[in-house]
Structure 1
Amino acid sequence: MDNEAMEGVMLSARTAARLAGRTCRTLQRWCEEGALPSVAVNGKGKRMIPVDALAPLLPLPLDDGLRTLLGRVEGGDGEAALALGLMLMEAGKGAPALAWFQAAAEGGNADAMHWLYQAYFQGLGTPRNRTLGIKWLAEAALRGHAIALRQIEQLRLGP
């Protein structure tokens, strides 16, 4: 891979694995074998992988917009993780979307929590789990999510 490509958006093995639907260990092995380019960024052996090298493994077409979004995701931007999850859900990739909703929810994003509720409650990209869905609905409501608050109220009042 040339230097210009290596200067683009770089992803940690963890982010790259989640995005590509592979394990971190698989990607690390590919890097060690030279099948996937990477750059070591510290003395602890942390590898950063150019997003362009992952293009064949990605669940969405790689364009400049997605590159920018992935750069924000790598930087820990919860709104970007939610946006990526929504893009994946819209593309019919429910299972990969859940990982990004989860990442955003763990950062306190109430919209992502509400999406997790919908996914688990309705079985979108995951086996249906109403208990887990209600847990995420309650979490979203606790953070003031307006729709979740109304839905919780409806559950309390019943039909």
Structure 2
Amino acid sequence: MKNVPISIAASVVVAERSRRTWWRRIADGTMTRLTDDAKGRAMLSLAEVAPLICVPLDQSDLDFLVQADAGNADAQNDIGQLFSNAGKPTIALYWLEQAARQGHADAMQWLGRCYIGGEGVPKNKNIGLMWIAKAAAHGHVIAQAQMQGSFRSQSI
């Protein structure tokens, strides 16, 4: 895991530390900056970032985190759900939004749930229903059932 890269952007989110903090640590030598990735993002060593992540992650979780950071929508969704279940809804939203923007139906359904329940964002039923409707349109079975229930309860 020593030279496994993770972006500063992902490090900011999962360790709940500012971008400025990471750059200060690079400048003082407590963090190692790796070669920028193909997208031009500044990268750090996951081995150095991992102890600072705000929830305990095992090796398989760290592997998903690296995949999520690389843009894998399934991994973004999984990491989003992991942080949601760990009581970190703001971090969850970051990953779920990235997956949803790539058309990941499960992430869309989770986002809808977050907005409706006010988890990590102010409650907003309209935005929540929009995400659930998008998930339903992408074939998400739970979202389809939620939409059916929503329309049934409003039709009477």
TM range (shorter): 0.7 to 0.9
Q: Work out whether 1:76 is the aligned partner of 2:71.
A: yes
| Counterparts in 2 of 1:77 and 1:45: CA distance versus 1, 3 Å | closer
Letter in 2 for 1:29: R
Letter in 1 for 2:47: D
Q: How far, CA to CA, are the matches of 2:101 and 2:23 in structure 1?
A: 25
Letter in 2 for 1:114: Q
Q: Quick check: 1:59–1:88 contact (8 Å CA) kept in 2?
A: no
For residue 99 of structure 1, report the CA deviation from its aligned partner: 1.0
| Range moving further from structure 2, 86-95 or 28-37 | 28-37
Task: Say how many residue pairs are matched.
Answer: 154
1:16 aligned partner? 11
TM-score (norm 2): 0.85
| Range moving further from structure 2, 33-42 or 64-73 | 33-42
| Counterparts in 2 of 1:69 and 1:150: CA distance versus 1, 3 Å | same
Letter in 2 for 1:94: P
TM-score (norm 1): 0.83
Q: How far, CA to CA, are the matches of 2:134 and 2:16 in structure 1?
A: 27
Q: Work out whether 1:27 is the aligned partner of 2:19.
A: no
Q: Which residue among 87, 94, 119 is the counterpart of 2:89?
A: 94
Unmatched 5+ residue regions in structure 1?
none
For residue 114 of structure 1, report the CA deviation from its aligned partner: 0.3
Q: Which residue among 126, 135, 138 is the counterpart of 1:140?
A: 135
| Range moving further from structure 2, 67-76 or 112-121 | 67-76
Q: Could you report, residue by residue, the CA deviation over 1:114-150 in whole angstroms, capped at 9, with x for unpaired residues?
A: 0000111011232211121112112112212112122
Identity of paired residues, percent?
33
